Structure 1
Amino acid sequence: MWSIGVLIAAVLVVITAQWLRKWMNPRCKNGVLPPGSMGLPLIGETLQLLIPSRSLDLHPFIKKRLSKYGPIFRTSLAGRPIVISADPKVNHFILSQEGKLVELWYLDTFSKLFNQEGDSRTSAVGNVHKYIRKTTLNHLGMEALKEKLLPELEKMACITLDHWSNQESVEVKRAFGAMVFDFTAKMLLGYESDNSLDNLSEKFNNIVEGLMSFPLNIPGTAFHECMKSKKKIMEFIKSKFNGKRAGPKTSKGDFLDQAIHDMTTETFLGEEFIVQLIFGLLFASFESNSSTLTFAMLKLSQHPSALEMLTAEHETILRNRKNVKLSPLAWDEYKSMTFTLQVINETLRLANVSPGLLRKALKDIQVNGYTIPAGWTILVAASAQQLNPNVFDGALEFNPWRWKDIDKNAVEQNFMPFGGGMRQCAGAEYSKALISTFLHVLVTKYRWSLVKTGDIRRNPLLTFGDGVHIKVSKKE
């Protein structure tokens, strides 16, 4: 019996050794894989990616491997093989091949948040993608901003800052998150925060905190709390859907109204699809805009010359108005905010809320002498391009003036805060208008001081530790 036990153990050791060798040294049938390491079985190199970095620089996980392997390397995250690219030409090619060689992809944590199980239509191409983009632009795009949203954004900023001025201090990220969520939810589904007992923006904060955790959905884990918060938000959106569909046809013309109306003509539109789509739009607006606004205020506080020039630009707008008190912010005034846009661009370049854009290879892809096998995930490392010192001189410095005379080709190839290819964010103009309008009200009517700077981290999403706290007061 002892000898049989030894034999079984030996066989298991051999099998395990062979499995480990195959895992750590994957082969490619049609070429050579990019250099790199696959890490441990099942979890890959996920733990290294989740280690926080207290620097604005590129996350060490990516930076160290770019230094060791070059601009394209392979790794494994949560057991999935991934190729990471910081090569601008390769990335431009990858993003241009959606629906041909690649498709939109999420890691497990994101996938469970933004897709119903077995339903990837929210990331589809073709008619579904065209519908999503067109409908989003109808409600949050340039024409909507021109016709009605810009003065409403200004009103929101006035109400928010007046409320902040009556508080001892404000934790900026959470306060911005609540403001952005309330406004965007009103545009998308007629949400009125004043009449709601649900603190939905706080539930989105819970989602962000669990987003980059290991996707283990058991009680006590960050991801479990993340999924609980998602469930509550989805239930709220479903209740709005059911209420609008069953109620009288007194449409307010929001996104949900249009989606319900279009269910009669678009066969892919169903309750689950619409609810999931609105959840994704709310999350995208909530996290990106609140992080960008927080980072902008922090950097403006630390760079008085930039704040002075920004203030001067907005005070000039007011001086040129015929009636300062009665006139709302006009579209031509918004488009005249050249230095404001430079501040926003520099904030977006440095903030890099996410490390990059994910795609999945549909076929074997040949790039730079390497093969990316079909089925592998590709991370287009936009953050690496935006912090490249060979493109942006003094890449870690906050320098809005760099955008005045910057090479346009360099910007097109290396600056993509709103995505790239056919997935360019439909809410890009909405985000810039929201931030610009808030800054307009802030610098012309209020002043602020930092109470607590916070602890900026990349893990790898940009976070602010225990928060950026400010004191806001009205100008005399």
Structure 2
Amino acid sequence: MVGLLLPAALGIFIGLALFFPYFRKLFFLKQEASNIPNGSMGWPFIGETIGFLMPHKSNSIGSFLDNHCSRYGRVFKSHLFGYPTIVSCDHELNTFILQNEGKLFQSSYPKPVLDILGKLSMMIVTGDLHKKLRNVAVGFISEFRLRPDLFCHLDKMSISVMKSFQQQRQVGFCKEAKKYTMSVMLKYVLDIEPEDPLAPQILEDFLTFMKGFVSIPLYFPGSPYAKAVKARARLTSTLGDIIKGKEESGAEIKKGDFLYEILRKGNINDEEKVSVAIDILLAGYETTAELLALVVYYIGKSPSVLDQLKEEHQALKRRKKDGEPLTLEDYKQMKFTSNVISESLRCGNLAKYFHRKALQDVEFKGL
């Protein structure tokens, strides 16, 4: 039943708001404006990036944010990824930022992050281009969830993965979850089966890509950042070849396929196709795998929750005929399972931060 968690996690993007300052020069004035939050700029260039990126448990905000919030408050200034930055751990301010997307704030990432994500990533582009690329992604995801074979395929794949665990004395579940979710995404985005030689190659490049995304942005041979930039280039080439090959093959393209959405829109070029494909794979693979790991982690600490999940799943199984595949309606009936997913998202932390740039001077609660 683990496979049933996937659709609920697609498109999930949560975390703490981290956005660029009103103007860089404000941080270097001898006498700062009174409404700039307190904080520390750290070392030149690197600033406090090393501390900010230190690994920590997913069910916490980490020692860096915890210490800075205790010292400066839940909104403070810092110097991250080579730029002066305002960091917000304040729920009300973060909500205000999201509600004013495109009016007072817009997505904006430091150049090192741009080099990894790519200039056409939906996390970066704005305006009409963002709307066009997002329409392709949303169209695919909407149709993807309604595919009649989806839940049956997820169920069979989940059972197969769980059976493989029986032969192992110890299982690194998060790693296995990433293999599982990548296999699912490759199957439904690019029609690549798990046994295809390209599958582990693409997974490895995504793992390298994500390690570099949360690393010090220093480009030198062998650094995680340099490896990530190269992995992004390989992914672009690999996915570009796959998409082009499938378009030229003349094979039947089914409704709900990624290529179906591309052709249906009609106004998307080759570079944009690859970028959207990478964004969809990333959204469906990384966050979903981490959500699965969080759910298992929390269930492991709550035997009563596990018992109630089993009861709900067994009740559903009893209502179905032998061999009858799972459906979207079955999933909708699993209220407690849905609550477990939502509570895991509330308690865990899938995305530590996201970047926003203030389009003008902004005052909030006197700051």
TM-score between the two structures when normalised by the length of structure 2: 0.83
Matched, 1:35 2:38: yes
Report the Cα offset of residue 54 of structure 1.
5.4
Asked if 1:251 is matched to 2:272, the reply is: no
- For residue 170 of structure 1, give the secondary structure of its aligned residue in structure 2: coil
How many residue pairs are counted as aligned between the two chains?
341
- One-letter amino acid of the structure 2 residue matched with residue 212 of structure 1: V
Q: Distance in 2 between matches of 1:208 and 1:349?
A: 23
CA offset at residue 130 of structure 1?
A: 3.4
CA distance in 1, matches of 2:252, 2:30: 62
After the TM superposition, which of the residue ranges 124-133 and 304-313 deviates more from structure 2? 124-133
Q: Does 1:362 align with 2:362?
A: no
How far 1:238 moved relative to its partner?
0.9
Partners in 1 of 2:352 and 2:213 — Cα distance? 13
> Using CA pairs below 8 Å that are at least 6 residues apart, which structure has the higher relative contact order?
2
CA distance in 2, matches of 1:336, 1:201: 33
Tell me by how many angstroms 1:24 deviates. 8.2
Tell me the CA shift for residue 258 of structure 1: 2.6
User: CA separation in 1, counterparts of 2:206 and 2:307?
Assistant: 34
Q: CA deviation at 1:148?
A: 4.2
Query: 2:8 — aligned with what?
Result: none
Alignment of 1:192-207 (within 5 A): 192-199=193-200, 200-207=202-209
- For 1:345 and 1:224, locate their aligned partners in 2 and report how far apart those are by CA, in whole Å: 36
Is 1:164 matched up with 2:165? yes
The equivalent position to 1:349 in structure 2, one of 346, 349, 355, is: 346
Partner of 2:146, secondary structure, is helix
What letter matches 2:158 in structure 1? A
- Alpha-carbon distance in 2 for matches of 1:197, 1:22: 48
Alignment of 1:254-333 (within 5 A): 254-260=257-263, 262-263=265-266, 266=267, 269-321=268-320, 323=321, 325-333=322-330
Q: Which moved more, 1:342-351 or 1:138-147?
A: 138-147
Among candidates 61, 65, 82, match of residue 68 of structure 2? 65
| Aligned pairs for 1:9-408 within 5 A | 23=28, 27-28=32-33, 32-53=35-56, 56-116=59-119, 119=120, 123-141=124-142, 144-145=145-146, 147-199=148-200, 200-248=202-250, 250-253=252-255, 254-260=257-263, 262-263=265-266, 266=267, 269-321=268-320, 323=321, 325-370=322-367
CA shift in 2, pair 1:244/1:52, >3 Å:
closer
C-alpha contact 1:24 1:38 (8 A) present in aligned 2: no
Distance in 1, matches of 2:30 and 2:55, equals: 28
Name the aligned partner's letter for residue 194 of structure 1.
Answer: E
What are the ranges of 5 or more consecutive residues in structure 1 without an aligned counterpart?
1-20, 371-476
Distance 2:32 2:259 in 1: 48
Kindly provide the CA deviation profile for residues 13-57 of structure 1, in whole angstroms up to 9, marking residues without a partner as x: xxxxxxxx96486745xx621221222221111122133335833
Take 1:36 and 1:251, find their aligned partners in 2: how far apart are those partners? 55
* Matched-pair identity in %: 28
CA distance in 1, matches of 2:152, 2:135: 23
**CA shift at 1:113, angstroms?**
1.8
Q: How has the CA–CA distance of structure 1 residues 54 and 176 changed in structure 2, closer, same or farther, with 3 Å as cutoff?
A: closer
Q: Do 2:48 and 2:78's aligned partners in 1 also have CA atoms closer than 8 Å? A: yes
Which SS does the other structure have where 1:344 is aligned? helix
Secondary structure of the structure 2 residue equivalent to 1:38: coil
In structure 2, distance between residues paired with 1:213 and 1:288:
18
What letter matches 1:224 in structure 2? A
Q: Is the 8 A contact 1:189 1:257 kept in 2?
A: no
Rounded Cα–Cα distance in structure 2 between residues aligned with 1:22 and 1:359: 17
Higher Cα radius of gyration: 1
The residue number in structure 2 matching 1:462 is none
